[in-house]
Structure 1
């Protein structure tokens, strides 16, 4: 068995004295792990950093084997973020969530493409937090748990949607939401309209919204929780006054 393609490094863990098991996010193979022999060497370690894009060839005798990865650098982004704690927190959160939420070896090309867009924006703190929230919303949709923001669940209108029902995952308009605001999740406008600006509180509301459904619909059924790195990102954003 063999495939070759580009992959974003999500996670690396030691294996034996000199090798490493690497998890990649690829377009055609989804989240895919493999053994990199010599992965802990001085020459290879700089390649195996989260956020780097590698050209990888995976080989195994049988499809369900771990297999070996031969790698070379394609776009080494990781160094761009090492001196930026805020961007690094976003990168770590996205990588950890992809590892936790995406089934192994199941293609999700739209999630892969959106991850690239997010990585391209990570050096712009005015842009990437909103893209991260959109990426989480897209992840939910691609896994079959998308939030329905097309029209109000009560009246059917498509304008003035301000909240989401935590029970149904459907949007609710302002008039219907008013008596139940404390029980509903706030819906930031930029999630409905890509042309809308990001208002104060939108990032916090967006993260609360996507986090709620990721936790309850994707992670809890498999006895997992939202990664701690996501909480650290939220704290960094709060400290930087970007929530």
Structure 2
């Protein structure tokens, strides 16, 4: 068995004295593991860092085997990401999120989104909105997507302001006012492609929104806790915003 693909490194763990098991998110083969012989060498260690985009050749005798990776660099992002607290927590959070998906299931859309986010993880004002959009995309891939396109009560696509915690569907300001204490705020930037004027309050509301549905539909049914990296990422975003206003 053999295939070639590009991927972004999520992490690596030691294997034996000199090798590592590399975890990647690939364009066409999903989240995939493989052995890298000599991966702990000084030459290979800088290449096998989280966030780097690499060219991969995977070989195994049988498809279900772990197999071995041959790795070549395409875009070395790790050094840039290590200089930013937001980026460090961000790449850890992306890896934790992707581990919710079955190994080797292809998710081309998630890979492309991952590639975009990785390019901007060290830019907090961009990384914050992009990450929450990634969480929405992941919920959709997991089968728990939110319907934020039109009002569940009126069918209107304008004036959307809330999300029903029961159905995950959007509700307009007018229709939702009588039940606003029971609804989740829907930040306006999540219903458009424009993130240029995303406020701190809107971003907080967005992460509370996705966090609610992750806890109810993903973490609790699986007996899991929210990954520490999510709290670290949100704290790093908040600190970055505070520095920007000083």
Residue 26 of structure 1 aligns with which residue?
26
Question: For structure 1, which segment, 210-219 or 188-197, has the greater mean C-alpha deviation from structure 2 after superposition?
Answer: 210-219
Deviation at 1:72, TM superposition (A): 1.3
Look up the SS of the partner of 1:127 in the other structure. Answer: helix
Residue 63 of structure 1 is matched in structure 2 by 63
Aligned to 2:113: 114
Asked if structure 2 preserves the Cα contact closer than 8 Å seen for 1:97 and 1:226, the reply is: no
> For 2:181 and 2:62, how far apart are their aligned partners in 1?
53
Distance 1:190 1:86 in 2: 21
Equivalent residue runs for 1:55-94 within 5 Å: 55-94=55-94
Distance in 2 between residues matched to 1:19 and 1:143, nearest whole Å? 33
Matched positions, count: 241
| TM-score, length-scaled by structure 2 | 0.92
CA deviation digits over 1:141-168, x for unaligned, max 9?
2332211012111222221111111111
Say yes or no: does 1:222 pair with 2:222: yes
Pairs within 5 Å for 1:37-56? 37-56=37-56
Distance 1:114 1:12 in 2: 22
Cα deviation per residue 1:160-185 (whole Å; 9 max; x = unaligned)?
11111111111111123223333222
Look up the SS of the partner of 1:240 in the other structure.
helix
Which residue number in structure 2 is paired with residue 150 of structure 1? Answer: 149
2:162 aligned with 1:163, yes or no?
Answer: yes
**Cα distance in 2 for residues equivalent to 1:16 and 1:29:** 26
SS of equivalent residue, structure 1 residue 218: helix
RMSD of aligned residue pairs (Cα, Å): 1.6
**Runs of 4+ residues over 6 Å off in structure 1:** none
1:95 and 1:203 map into 2 onto residues whose CA distance is 21
1:89-119 Cα offsets, whole Å, 9 max, x none, are 22221122112x2211000000000111111
Partner of 1:195: 194
In the other structure, the counterpart of 1:5 is 5
Stretches of structure 2 lacking an aligned partner (at least 5 in a row)? none
TM-score by length of 1: 0.93
d(CA) in 2 for partners of 1:70, 1:221: 37
Structure 1 position 193, deviation (Å): 0.6
1:172 aligns to what?
171
Corresponding residue of 1:95: 95
* Larger CA deviation: 203-212 vs 107-116: 203-212
Q: Shift in Å at residue 57 of structure 1?
A: 0.8
Change (3 A) 1:60 1:220: farther
